[in-house]
């Protein structure tokens, strides 16, 4: 696995909903993260080949985070490590967080309708 100098979030850049949340991540991290298309992750990181296209991937200091792990990481970025939501999300079983992520990813076409910019 390649070691990155700056955290990199790979997203489906054809998904308006995904781009919206990537913008939120940039906002809450003050731009300290790089956003790239998911297709580039699958080219550069062989260990991502098995992941479906609805999976965002974060590489941070050589570690790969996906699905439910990203929900917790977003709360950490948004609210800080001591905030109640961040602390609670750390105690929710990963299988449940993954289920929440999969449900949201399943509805991407619907959610994207609300986030399309310029029609």
Q: Give domain status of residue 2, yes or no.
A: no
Q: Give domain status of residue 1, yes or no.
A: no
Q: Give domain status of residue 3, yes or no.
A: no
Query: What confidence tens digit (pLDDT) does each residue in 39-85 have?
Result: 888 787 777 777 776 677 787 777 888 888 888 888 888 898 999 98
Q: Residue holding tokens 């080219």?
A: 43
Q: Give domain status of residue 94, yes or no.
A: yes
How many C-beta atoms surround the C-beta of residue 36 within 10 A? 16
- Between CA 19 and CA 63 the distance in angstroms is 22
Query: What confidence tens digit (pLDDT) does each residue in 7-37 have?
Result: 888 888 888 888 888 888 888 888 888 898 8
Give the structural domain span for 67. 8-115
- Between CA 73 and CA 118 the distance in angstroms is 30
Count structural domains, the chain. Answer: 1
Q: What is the pLDDT of residue 1?
A: 46
Q: Report pTM.
A: 0.75
Pairing of strands 8-11, 34-37: parallel
Q: Give domain status of residue 86, yes or no.
A: yes
Q: Give domain status of residue 105, yes or no.
A: yes
Q: Give domain status of residue 43, yes or no.
A: yes
């Amino acid at each position: 696995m390649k070691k990155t100098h700056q955290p990199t979030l790979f997203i489906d850049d054809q998904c308006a909903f995904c781009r919206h949340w990537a913008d939120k991540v940039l906002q809450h991290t003050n731009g300290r993260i790089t956003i790239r298309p998911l297709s580039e992750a699958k080219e550069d990181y062989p260990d991502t080949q098995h992941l479906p296209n609805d999976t965002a991937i974060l590489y941070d200091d050589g570690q790969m985070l996906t699905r439910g792990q990203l929900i917790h990481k977003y709360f950490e970025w948004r609210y800080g490590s001591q905030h109640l939501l961040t602390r609670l999300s750390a105690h929710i079983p990963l299988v449940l967080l993954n289920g929440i992520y999969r449900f949201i990813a399943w509805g991407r076409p619907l959610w994207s309708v609300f986030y399309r910019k310029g029609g």
